[in-house]
């Protein structure tokens, strides 16, 4: 009897996760045009940051930001680095998604800023270490970027509830599905991304 109850609980638990993953992937598919838009804007501003030299004031601010970030992490061990990266990305992704409720303005600013920052950093890296350095940067974003694109795309969609006929109903639907995707898809991606990025930084600098 105990084994039967245990098996039923196990089946129920598996069914719960399977159902939520299925619904999460379905919602991502429904929201793909917003996610594609986020990706397009991100890479446009990455190219701008990479190809067009930044004005001196902006460049100084970015370099100051990077210097402060390096100071924060310089004495961290591998676990601390992974934790720092995960919490930083988690916060950024969650705010980018949830604050999309204000007409999608916040995720749009986040997309532009992050894209430009990546392009700027890539350009600086190439200038000092050569084009081959870009291949070393690639593993850092292989899981992180999809998580960021999904969260910001969902943030953009969330902001569009205001233009729907059933505003209250659509707001609840968008919010609930966004949180579900965040828990079942985005957080696991960010965990893997933090482990890879934190380990690479710790091992290779």
Q: What is the CA radius of gyration of the chain?
A: 20
Single pTM value for the model: 0.85
pLDDT for 64-105, tens place per residue? 888 888 888 888 888 998 999 999 999 999 999 999 988 889
pLDDT attached to residue 182: 95
Query: Which residues touch 105 (CB under 8 Å, ≥6 apart)?
Result: 159
Asked if residues 100 and 155 have their Cβ atoms less than 8 Å apart, the reply is yes
Would you kindly state where each structural domain of the chain is located, as residue ranges?
A: 25-204
Do 124 and 181 form a contact (C-beta atoms < 8 A)? no
Task: Tell me the C-alpha to C-alpha distance, in Å, between residue 137 and each of 27, 120, 155, 180.
Answer: 30, 13, 26, 30
Count of beta carbons in the 10 Å neighbourhood of residue 33 = 11
Name, in order, each residue with C-beta under 8 angstroms of 37's C-beta and a sequence gap of 6 or more: 153, 156
Count Cα atoms within 13 angstroms, Cβ side, for 82: 11
- Residues in the chain where the model's pLDDT stays below 70: 1-14, 130-140, 204-205
Two structure tokens written together for 186: 């985005």
């Amino acid at each position: 009897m105990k084994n039967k109850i245990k098996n039923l609980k196990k089946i129920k638990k598996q069914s719960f996760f399977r159902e939520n993953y299925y619904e999460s992937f379905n919602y991502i598919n429904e929201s793909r045009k917003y996610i594609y838009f986020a990706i397009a804007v991100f890479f446009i501003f990455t190219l701008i940051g990479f190809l067009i030299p930044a004005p001196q004031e902006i460049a100084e601010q970015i370099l100051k930001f990077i210097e402060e970030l390096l100071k924060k992490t310089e004495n961290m061990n591998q676990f601390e680095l992974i934790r720092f990266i995960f919490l930083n990305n988690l916060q950024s992704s969650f705010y980018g998604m949830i604050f999309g409720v204000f007409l999608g303005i916040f995720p749009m600013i986040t997309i532009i800023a992050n894209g430009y920052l990546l392009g700027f950093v890539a350009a600086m890296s190439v200038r000092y270490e050569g084009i081959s350095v870009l291949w070393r940067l690639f593993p850092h974003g292989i899981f992180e970027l999809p998580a960021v694109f999904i969260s910001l795309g969902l943030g953009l969609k969330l902001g569009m509830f205001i233009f729907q006929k059933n505003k209250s109903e659509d707001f609840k639907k968008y919010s609930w599905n966004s949180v579900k995707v965040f828990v079942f898809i985005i957080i696991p991606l960010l965990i893997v991304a933090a482990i890879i990025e934190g380990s690479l930084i710790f091992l290779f600098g």
